[in-house]
Amino acid sequence: MNVFKNIWNAFTYAVKGIVYGFYSRKNITVFLITTLLVAVLLNWLRTTKIKFALIMAAWLLVIIMEISNTAVEKIVDTLHPNFSEGIGRAKDMMAGAVFIAIISAITVTLLMIWDPLMYKLFHLTTGG
């Protein structure tokens, strides 16, 4: 029974962390809304399950990266509240990782939906 309690506690802490992230960072909320809108678009385009899964994984990675970025910033700001060039660079690198995840998600999405989107909007085929 102790195992179930530990699992429940881990789940509770994880949910609290996610909720805190959504309330403390507007970017996380923006990325969640974007992910939901992409899901609606994919449903409208009637994409395959594998494309849906891959595109959602790319957008969920953006959310994961932003939550990780928020956690690292919170730890660093708590442990070292004063300015430090090294810490500033580390924060910049975390922001860069989030940016790369966003560019990757956009690229994956566009590559996978371009043809069906063009057909649905303009009845054009691109031959790709």
Q: For this structure, is 85 an active site residue?
A: no
Distance separating alpha carbons of residues 126 and 128, to the nearest angstrom: 5
Is residue 105 a contact partner of residue 59, using CB atoms and an 8 Å limit? Answer: yes
The single residue of 28, 38, 66, 98 carrying the catalytic annotation is 66
Residue type, 96: G
User: Hey, which residues are catalytic here?
Assistant: 66
